[in-house]
Structure 1
Amino acid sequence: MQGLSKLGSTAIVYGLCNALSSATPLLLLPIYTVWLTPAEFGTLSLFSTVVALAVPVVSLASGAAVQRRHFNLDSEEFACYVRTAFLVIVAIGTFIFAVSLVTAFANKNVVGVSSELFSMAVIVAVAISIQQIILSIWQTEQRISEYIRFQSFFLLMLIGLPVVFVVILKRGLYGAIAGIVIANVFSSSAMLWPMLRNGLLLGPVSKKHMFHLLRFGGPLLPHLIAGWVIAMFDRFLIAKYWGLAAVGIYSFAFQAAQTLSLLSGSFNQAFTPWLYHVLARGTKDDDSLVSRVLGLYAFVVIAFGLCVAYLFQVLVPVYAVKYMAALDYAPWLIAGFTINALYRISATFQMYYERTAEIAVGTVVSGVISISMNLYFVKKFGPISAAWSNVIGFGLLFIWTTFRAITIRDHTFGKDK
């Protein structure tokens, strides 16, 4: 029970920090729906979608890799590993940014948005990737005070800057995007100072660690991109066939459903280091404790999803009349994100045992099915068909990862391989 109590206390701390930071799109939703047109809000949603695509490509799951290697390397080797991860992020980000500049000179769009917006999305992705590495270190080392200070500062930046640019300066869509870019770049730069002070930024890098990062994150890249396809590719098809205003309305329901991701992400960030400690300890006595934690988590996620669905149906007709069409999409999207929240925990076991290729297989197959459904149904049935494919894609992914997690756990629990 001591382990469960400790997990609960850390989950509350990290959960509140991460939930508040991740909930900024929801907190800003009343401002955006008043000060931006549905078409502008749709463009902002496409920008956020591109950022979500760029992050896994730029980071190659470096945050998860750093967190995993923390338990296997001495302090000097770990510092070298972190420096190598930073180098990989900067190199990939620079390459993609250069490609976006070339397309800008050619006056071409990239993945459905202007080259200028794509370039800014890459900058944000690099900043977020750096944040993920540093936050994973702080969390693994239980440096809660630093974690809280940063998340509080970051929250003020994420909310304050868009308010200044959109409401006070009345810069509209590009003011909202500028606030996102400045908040992420400035916050990431501030995080690098303690890393420099602790000697993690200066020193040699290692080809061995670079190859490990590629082996760890490379197989995850199809998984992460396929996950993006399941959740976000529909936005581009909706924009193409039904217009940016339809994207804005669909994104309104999507962001409400994403509150499930806030809950699961907050828990997973607290649960992952704890589970890694349990698995590294290598005893079978913890098996029942892990089962109880997972059972409680599943109950809370499902109950929370039902509450979100009920509140959305009650509040939208009162406070967001021009988004009434979102009522049709919300139940399906909430169901999809509930399933996704359950899947993320199953994938944690595979991440620990570095079975990342298995995760990739399930996600790619689910992604192919999801994108095929979207390509066929969105044009014919409208945005609601995108919500249907969301449920089916995440459902298939959950079934696969849960099956593999049970198999891995039965064969390796208590045998750290």
Structure 2
Amino acid sequence: ILTRVLTADEYGELSLLMTVYALLLPILSIALPQYVFRSFFDSSEEFSSRLQNGLSTVLAWTAVGNILAISVSAAAFLLNFLSMVQASACIVIVVSASLNSLFQIRLLLFNAEGKAKSFVTFQISYSLLLFVITLASLFFLQAGSFSRVLGVLVADIIFAILAFREIKRTFGAKVVFPNSFSNSLDFLKFGGGLVPHLIASVLLSSLDKVIIASKMTMSDLAGYAIAVQFTSVLMIFTQGLSKEWSRYYLANRGGSRVMLRGLTLVGIISGAGVVIYLLKDVFFFIFVGDGFSVNPTVIVFLLIGQIFHSIYMIVSIEITYLKKTHILSSLTLLSLFLNLMVSFALVDSYGTVGVAIGTMTGMAAKLI
């Protein structure tokens, strides 16, 4: 809908703002949702205290972030670097990213508790509200590229309130001054080690498009972006499996059947990748049409890369359990570096296929 209403420049501006929003999420939350999920499987007596300390620490951190965002955006407006609308949008995405951590915490706690129906209901409700507000802003407020920004703001405000009420009711957590320095330090070590990993993961999903935009045509970029969206269907499938796997693994770590189930999951993911590739012609006929050129070789390399990444998500749970999150960050930064080097080396000779090989190489190195 957005690509049919917005101009190319407006859609580019929207994409840039949402990329910044995605980068802000781990920075402002300090990976608190992931820490809370991991802590759920430790001592139940300490969980509420750890949750409270984490919430209080992140609240103080995001308050500083919001003050800084307002100050920088105001200065950029006064110096004519940004328009009033652009400066306001920058402030809005910082506020929204600050609130989103509460929504993510409630989601991951539903996952930890094994409440799949509640997880799905909460996630779909958020997405539906975001969809409705975005379209209302687009058609009634004529907000253009900022319609998604307004949708994210409204969705994050409402679901932050709902999530906090649920967290307080279910786990008795409050926002208070941290009462245990050791718990706060434990959280900051975990989150500080994981944040580079999360940021690099966002960059991994956008770096290839930046390279193509700088070296090739927008038509090439459009075809590659469609291939990425198509192969991402595998990630939608495997993210659901990996969430259940992470809960099962942390609850049964060391059991004799854990390895067998993990290997079975690897086989299912690999088989799903083959099925998705075989369905590519049907997908493009229904959703894409004849106006875009998508190289099937690009799809092959991107799908293989997605399979590598999906298996990595399974085996890396043990590193998260050991709280050695700095290892995950090192692996993802290595993947990002290799992706960049290989993509730049091959893009002039092989075009989008070379960039896809770069993506696959980065994912393979991380898994190995």
Q: TM-score, with normalisation over the residues of structure 1?
A: 0.75
Report the more deviating stretch, 42-51 or 299-308: 42-51
Cα offsets for 1:206-247 (capped at 9, x unmatched):
322221111112222222222233222233444455577765
1:121 paired residue number: 93
Q: 1:169 to 1:254 in 2, by over 3 A?
A: farther
Residue 229 (structure 1) aligned with residue 203 (structure 2): yes
Contact 1:38 1:245 in 2 (8 A): no
Contact 1:238 1:383 in 2 (8 A): yes
Q: 1:300 to 1:49 in 2, by over 3 A?
A: farther
Residue 298 (structure 1) aligned with residue 266 (structure 2): yes
Cα distance in 2 between the residues matched to 1:303 and 1:324: 28
Question: Where do 5+ consecutive residues of structure 1 fail to align?
Answer: 1-30, 400-417
% identity of equivalent residues: 22
Question: Where do 5+ consecutive residues of structure 2 fail to align?
Answer: none
2:226 paired residue number: 252
- The root-mean-square deviation of aligned C-alpha atoms, in Å, is 3.0
SS for the counterpart of 1:46 is helix
Cα distance in 1 between the residues matched to 2:213 and 2:67: 26
Stretches of 4+ moved more than 6 A in 1?
none
Contact 1:252 1:323 in 2 (8 A): no
Among candidates 155, 177, 180, match of residue 152 of structure 2: 180
Equivalences for residues 123-162 of structure 1 within 5 A:
123-144=95-116, 146-162=118-134
Contact 1:332 1:387 in 2 (8 A): yes
Among candidates 51, 55, 73, match of residue 21 of structure 2: 51
2:355 paired residue number: 386
Contact 2:30 2:191 in 1 (8 A): yes
1:276 paired residue number: 250
2:339 paired residue number: 370
2:317 paired residue number: 348
Among candidates 154, 173, 176, match of residue 200 of structure 1: 173
Cα distance in 2 between the residues matched to 1:322 and 1:87: 53
Cα distance in 2 between the residues matched to 1:180 and 1:312: 31
Cα distance in 1 between the residues matched to 2:117 and 2:136: 28
Cα distance in 2 between the residues matched to 1:293 and 1:34: 44
SS for the counterpart of 1:72 is coil
SS for the counterpart of 1:233 is helix
Q: 1:380 to 1:57 in 2, by over 3 A?
A: farther
Report the more deviating stretch, 381-390 or 238-247: 238-247
Contact 2:341 2:358 in 1 (8 A): no
Contact 1:59 1:126 in 2 (8 A): yes
1:266 CA displacement = 1.3
Cα distance in 1 between the residues matched to 2:15 and 2:222: 7
Cα distance in 2 between the residues matched to 1:92 and 1:273: 29
1:343 CA displacement = 0.8
1:82 paired residue number: 51
Q: TM-score, with normalisation over the residues of structure 2?
A: 0.84
1:312 paired residue number: 280
1:135 CA displacement = 2.1
Cα distance in 2 between the residues matched to 1:243 and 1:182: 36
Cα distance in 2 between the residues matched to 1:154 and 1:72: 29
The letter for the 1-side match of 2:228 is F
Q: 1:313 to 1:126 in 2, by over 3 A?
A: farther
1:415 paired residue number: none
The letter for the 2-side match of 1:73 is S
Q: 1:234 to 1:97 in 2, by over 3 A?
A: farther
Contact 1:46 1:236 in 2 (8 A): no
Contact 2:55 2:175 in 1 (8 A): no
SS for the counterpart of 2:316 is helix
Cα distance in 1 between the residues matched to 2:290 and 2:152: 25
Cα offsets for 1:278-309 (capped at 9, x unmatched):
12xx5xxx22x222322222222122222333
Q: 1:301 to 1:219 in 2, by over 3 A?
A: same
